Structures are given as structure tokens and as C-alpha cells.
Amino acid sequence: MSPFLAELIGTALLITLGGGVVANVVLNKTKGNNSGWIVITFGWAMAVYVGVFVSAPYSGAHLNPAVTISLAVAGKFEWALVASYIGAQLLGAMAGALIVWLSYRQHFNQTEDVDGKLAVFSTGPAIRGSIDNLVTEMIGTFVLVFAVLFIAGPTINLNNTDGKMGLGAIGALPVAFLVLAIGLSLGGPTGYAINPARDLGPRIMHTILPLGKKRDSDWSYAWIPIIGPIIGGVIAALLYKII
């Protein structure tokens, strides 16, 4: 499997299972309706585990533009490959969101809560405030990337090039626990996007998919889960280089 395809498939699995658990909790007449935040955070952690485990042997399992950019800043990944990885991640996130809609199509049609429908696809703040929301996303992604840099090891001979850094399959479980911890501890203010592709790709799909009654896709907020994770990840990478 090529690294591009691995990142696409891994991110699609991430969003299928992560968006799927949100749909199960917030949409009407599902088996998991109103089962709560613990179910959502645990479901996202398992989504990360599956996505990382499947893609790690082939791409290093970044699955997140903030991770890809941060690894490049840290000197652990080739800048020439950054754009292709991010493209694969965005396409995979869109594909995963489409799969969630196909799986829960009847439940979207049975749900009147337009904010809940949007929450299946993208994050939003509990209390809106651009600076505070941005800082929260920066902190969450700083924790993610800083820890990932210590968990990750060098991946050999991806595209016949040594020294690219990513997660081996053995790293899937610790990263899943890491994401669970971030969600439980830091996810309350903004829903812990900590991944630009995870938010942007599904938000695009919310805009174009027929969901019955729906609200706008809150594009005025969308820059925060894109810029915040990138800034937080880069700060983590720079600190990692210093120490």
C-alpha cells in the first residue's frame, strides 16, 4: 500500500468510527442515544487505534495535518511529502464522513436538533470566544504532538527513503490512550478537534450532504480547529528539538 493510500484509508477509518460514535450518541432513535461524553471520548480513542494500526506500516500513521507539519518542523519528516499526506488526510476525512451519513441516514432524517447534526461532522465551542477557543485547541494539540514525538520511532524505506518518522503499529495503543486522556481532560471547551482534517473534511460534507433540516456549517468558527492545532503542534515540535 502506498503512503498516500494508507493515510487516506487510515483517516477514513478514524472519521468513520469517530464520527460514528458521535452520531450514535446525539441522533434520534439510535441504540446509543444520549449515552454521553464518556462513550464519545472512548469511541474516538478506539477510532484512533484502528486508524493508526491499519496505516502505520505503510505511512507512519500521521492521519492529521498538524502531526505531519510538526514532524517536518522537528526534522523527522520530509517537507516534500507534506502536501501529499495532507491531501490524503483531507480526502480520507471526507470519505469517512460520507460513510457515517450512509450508516445513519435515517437517523439524520429523524433528528430535529440541527446543532447535534453538525456535531456529528465537526467541532464547536461550548462557550464561544475566538481567542480562548484557539488556545484550547493549541494546548490539546501540543499535548498530542509532544507525546507522539516521544512515542514515534523512525520508519524505514517508505517510498525508498530512510528516516521518515511516524508511528509503528505498536504505537497505536498508547496514542489511543493519549487521545482518550485529551478528550476527557481538555475536550470540554471545544470538543478537541486537535486535527485540521478531522474537522474540515467532515464540515465540507455537512455542507453538501442532504441531512434533512440542517443549519449552516459554522464556517466562521472553522478556522480555529485548523489554525489552533497547527500552532500547537509546531510549538510542541520546536520544544522537542530544544530538549
Domains and CATH numbers, the chain: 3-242 (1.20.1080.10)
Of residues 53, 69, 80, 62, the one with CA closest to residue 8: 62
Global pTM value:
0.94
Q: pLDDT tens across 125-149, in order?
A: 999 999 999 999 999 999 999 999 9
Could you write out the three-class secondary structure of 62-131? CCCHHHHHHHHHCCCCCHHHHHHHHHHHHHHHHHHHHHHHHHCHHHHHCCCCHHHHHHHHCCCCCCCCHH
The Cα-based distances of 160 to 86, 157, 163, 164 in angstroms read 20, 4, 10, 10
Phi and psi dihedrals of 150, rounded to 5?
-90, -30
- Cell for 62? 500521521
Give the relative orientation of helices 37-59 and 3-26 as an angle to the nearest 10 degrees: 170
User: Distance (Å, rounded) from C-alpha 3 to C-alpha 1?
Assistant: 7
Q: pLDDT tens across 55-110, in order?
A: 999 999 999 999 999 999 999 999 999 999 999 999 999 999 999 999 999 999 99
Q: pLDDT tens across 1-42, in order?
A: 899 999 999 999 999 999 999 999 999 999 999 999 999 999
Q: pLDDT tens across 180-212, in order?
A: 999 999 999 999 999 999 999 999 999 999 999
